[in-house]
Amino acid sequence: MAAKITKIWSDVVEVTFSNEEAPKINTILTTEDESSTLIVKKIINENIVYAIIIDSNDAMQINENIINTKKSFMVPVGNKTKNHIFDVKGKALNETKTKFDYVEMNETIIENNDYKFKPELMETGIKVIDFFVPILKGSKIGIFGGAGVGKTVLMKEIIFNLSKTQERTSSLFIGAGERSREGVELYNDLKESNLMQNSIMFISKMNESAGSRMHIVPVGITAAEYLRDQNKENVLLFIDNIFRFLQANNEVSASLDKKPSFGGYQATLNTDISQVENRLFTNENGAITSFQTVFLPMDDLSDPSAIAVFNHLNGSLVLSREVTAKNIYPACDPLESTSAIVDPKIIGKRHYDAILSAKKVLQRYKELEDVLLILGIDELDQESKQTVKKALQLQNFFSQYFHTTEHFTHHKGVYVPLEKTIESIERILSGEFIDVNPAKFLYISTVDDIKIGD
């Protein structure tokens, strides 16, 4: 046998090739009984490579024989993959006898020629997103937040609403390093709603190796590119959680002799994220519209990982712990959330003016919060009192019941058209409801639900 294991670290294995040429980067290696899978990540010289562990069912040993498969991950692609859930090695995790078509990971990468397309707004039916972070087909949207503020729940609702409203569109979900429960729940929910028939899932759970978690994203993106360029489809790509992908890269970077950089992250942090983000674009074949959850360590928006992702996005939705404390879901902070699409030429002057007016009121309320805590609302002048009232009404208005949470909220989910949302906000800002208690605005669809005088 020409290749043997010569050293073993926690997640990296040194393999020495004696009678054959060393394999290329991203080549899959296996043990003789195929109980362990490795992927080449660093070439030391013409005979020695470092490979990281993808999975291992048996303990590996020094001098154990290694087989060079001479190919990378084989990714299942095309229409046959719809209605299926896969692991990083392309194995279907739900019962199937289907014979899939496969391509190698990253084989589908093509050049982005800056294809010009007519801006097309995508309506999610979620008030706070459609109003503050409008989404264009082909956009990249980040959902930022710390632990437990509702990133995955919000993404699930977006999946459900867009899957029902977008034509000639497939959904592809990549679960990178999240709880297995969330993947199972999403699969069951999609199946019950008959949405799985046009959806594909690629999952690498948080208890899997770093090698698996860092490769599930390029594997899933390969499948998305195939749908766009070969099937000529539009693709809704959901990645939960892109931070776990970067974290997995960081876990193996020290073993591969990469020096740490800011905040303990790998020096290649920006390169790691660029290599996947630059593949998500629109061309003449179709659009890949991506939604990516981004975990914020310590709720810190200035964390290097968040900044690295943020640089590639067209819009960012920031979920706040302060808003969750007020029992407002989705817990979005409109002042922290941004969108490059907020332009009167794209969204129209009416929507643009409404966003500016709403943000002005919310910003003024934020400035008055300390005064309110110390002196109370009675000490404010009349104009400030009205501003506070409108801001509280707006905050509560952006709460919304979701279809995906009906089983534990026991309230039917609502889809709110953008036109209705803009109209409601204009009426709140005009002072039409200035004498109405802000609590009446919690979890309503539109202001038409409010009966003045109740």
Rounded to 10 degrees, the C-alpha dihedral 326/330/335/341 comes to -170
Tell me the C-alpha distance between 245 and 215, whole Å.
8
For β-strands 84-86 and 199-205, DSSP reports them as parallel
**Nearest 5°: phi and psi at 343?**
-145, 125
Classify the C-alpha dihedral 105-107-111-114 as positive or negative. negative
- Catalytic site includes residue 168: no
- CA–chain centroid gap for 121, Å, is 19
102, 140, 159, 164, 272 from 123: Cα distances, Å: 33, 15, 12, 11, 31
- Catalytic site includes residue 178: yes
Catalytic one among 82, 179, 258, 359?
179
**Nearest 5°: phi and psi at 413?**
-70, 150
For β-strands 36-43 and 28-31, DSSP reports them as antiparallel
- CA–chain centroid gap for 16, Å, is 38
Catalytic one among 64, 178, 233, 251?
178
Catalytic one among 151, 205, 228, 389?
151
Query: What six digits make up the tokens of 108?
Result: 């589908």
In 12-112, DSSP assigns E strands to 12-17, 28-31, 36-43, 48-56, 66-68, 74-77, 84-86, 101-104
- Catalytic site includes residue 179: yes
Active-site residue set = 151, 178-179
